[in-house]
Amino acid sequence: MHKPFDSMPGHSRLWIYQANRFFSAGEKAQLEAGLKNLCEQWTAHQVPLQTSFAVEHSLFVMLAVDELQAGASGCSIDSSVHFLKGIQQSLGIDFFDRTQVAFINGEQVTLRPMASMKTLFENRTLTGESIAFNLLAATKSDWIEKGRIKVKDSWLNKYLPKTVVAG
């Protein structure tokens, strides 16, 4: 059962998928129509789930389930992954490519190749204060409160240049 994303409770379980490129307006409309259909039909063991979705920055797809109403099962989660794999084929978008990282640069979201992280930090294109996205947010509240995170507080901090302390 689909509900507007804003009306989903903060405890709703969240799955976040980052695309390997930004969606066009037409692709976003096609994606949103498919996601709405998925949410309207999404069940776990034939029990309708309270679900929603959001598409943010023409890059992220978020699926939410209010598990206090009914919990998502392995099969129901698989059905959402199957949907995403199908739509990515028709749109030529990859939701499972982990070779790029999204950052907020001013008002703009940018994608950077994972392979270039060390160089981007060394030349200060990105710093510990740069803002990345926390794709591991497990609930809607986590995404709202901690979905944007400073690099120094994220898993990306391992790419930050190490400073030598004079003794």
Q: Identify whether 165 is part of a domain.
A: no
The domain total for the chain is: 2
Can you give the pLDDT at residue 3?
A: 86
Q: Which of 91, 116, 142 is the last residue of a domain?
A: 91
Mean pLDDT, the chain, whole residue set: 87
What's the CATH number where 82 sits?
3.30.310
Contact by Cβ (8 Å): 39, 51 = yes
The model carries a pTM of 0.88
Q: Which of 52, 72, 91 is the last residue of a domain?
A: 91
Q: How many residues appear in the chain?
A: 167
The 10s digit of each residue's pLDDT in 53-106 is 999 999 999 999 887 666 565 666 667 788 888 988 889 999 999 899 999 988
Q: Which of 33, 59, 91 is the last residue of a domain?
A: 91
Whether the per-residue pLDDT at 38 is higher than 90: the answer is no
Contact by Cβ (8 Å): 44, 34 = no
Confidence of residue 161 (pLDDT cuts 50, 70, 90): confident
Can you give the pLDDT at residue 164?
A: 47
Which tokens belong to 15? 């799955």
Rounded alpha-carbon distances, angstroms, from residue 94 to 18, 25, 85, 90: 8, 17, 8, 10
Q: Closest by alpha carbon to 53, among 73, 75, 28, 78?
A: 28
